[in-house]
Amino acid sequence: MSDQFVTTVDKKISTGRRGHWTGASMVLAGAILWGVSGTAAQVLFQRFHFHPAWLVSIRMTVAGVLLLAVSAIRFGPKPVLTVWSVPRDAVGLILFGTIGLLLVQYSYLVSIATGNAATATLLQYLGPVFITAYLAVRQRQAPNRWELTAVILALLGTFLLVTDGQWKALSVSSACVVWGLISAVSLAFYTLYPKKLLGKYPPSTVVGWGMLIGGFTMSMKYWPWAFTGASSVSSWLLTVFVVLFGTLLAFYLYLTSLRYLTPTQTSILACAEPLAASVVAIVVLRVPMGVFGILGGMCILSTVVILALQRPRQRAG
């Protein structure tokens, strides 16, 4: 990030205990909304037969438009449009919106549709492990003992989660596992890739355009008005929740929390997302998860905490 942005963040972080609790409340609320929206999406797919691609198209397009509107009101319309005047940044934004945000949203929702929200969310949280592995290869630097511990825990946790301790069978479909792993890789990509964009433009602008680009790209094949599924008051209320609360508000709260917390703190507190998804899925939807599956989820969550507490590697050029 740019020096100016970092300085601003540092000043906000130093606002004291009140600011810390404000930021913690925001990131926890955002993470819980993400987790609950995953369970809401599971209901839309499995009970009301919504298509994952259609929901991606709707949630990304609406959230993108609203985020850009918020950014324009806060920073003015010029910063929102400036990114398109720089060809390199425009190309980067398109890649971020399609390979990053669109792929992570689509793969995550398909993983839910073919499995359940708890497993899909936990698999997605393998993203930090892929980030660590990528940086280790790129920097030609072997992982330290804590990073190796995190990788081992991630592998063990994934095995326990998808098999529930049964060596010869999967506790969820292979499609759920594959799409969940794709969502983890794409999560790593969209976390690492937009560093330069976020250093030059407000996060709400970058994420807003990324959402809108991803939603428009998906809309080219799955038009928003080409709806298939069971239409009811309940299904549309769940859709509104996923779009407004599970996407727009969750992202806004998470981004705003960076004014009061360090990235390390937000990474740890964001673990509330898979916990919320798991609790809601198990309690409300009666998704079965045995002792080994729960243990596997705890292993994966522990990798996020371990990696978040490590001093970040210095990225090459």
Instruction: Output DSSP code: residue 171.
Output: S
Nearest to 170 by CA among 161, 157, 179, 181: 161
Q: Which residue matches tokens 């930021």?
A: 23
Rg of the chain taking only CA atoms, in angstroms: 19
Tokens of 174: 């292979």
Cα separation of 108 and 102, whole Å? 10
Helix count (H) and strand count (E) of the chain? 17, 0
The amino acid present at 301, given as its one-letter code, is L
Cα separation of 13 and 27, whole Å? 14
Residue 231: CB atoms within 10 A of its CB come to 12
What is the reported pLDDT for 17? 65
Tokens of 19: 């600011």
Buried b / exposed e over 47-61, threshold 16 CB at 10 Å, is ebebbbbbbbbbbbb
Asked if residues 257 and 15 have their Cβ atoms less than 8 Å apart, the reply is no
Instruction: Output DSSP code: residue 314.
Output: P
Distance, first Cα to last Cα, the chain: 14
The amino acid present at 185, given as its one-letter code, is V
Query: Would you say how long the chain is, in residues?
Result: 317
What is the reported pLDDT for 129? 82
Asked if residues 188 and 125 have their Cβ atoms less than 8 Å apart, the reply is no
What is the reported pLDDT for 6? 38
Give this prediction's pTM. Answer: 0.80
What is the reported pLDDT for 223? 77
What is the reported pLDDT for 12? 45
Nearest to 254 by CA among 17, 11, 27: 27
Asked if residues 45 and 189 have their Cβ atoms less than 8 Å apart, the reply is no
Buried b / exposed e over 153-170, threshold 16 CB at 10 Å, is bbeebbebbbbbeeeeee
Nearest to 227 by CA among 49, 98, 38: 49
Those residues whose C-beta lies under 8 Å from the C-beta of residue 82, and which sit 6 or more positions away, are 201
Cα separation of 151 and 242, whole Å? 32
Residue numbers of the chain with a pLDDT score lower than 50: 1-15, 314-317
What is the reported pLDDT for 13? 42
CA angle, residues 284, 46, 176, in degrees to nearest 5: 95
Cα separation of 280 and 22, whole Å? 25
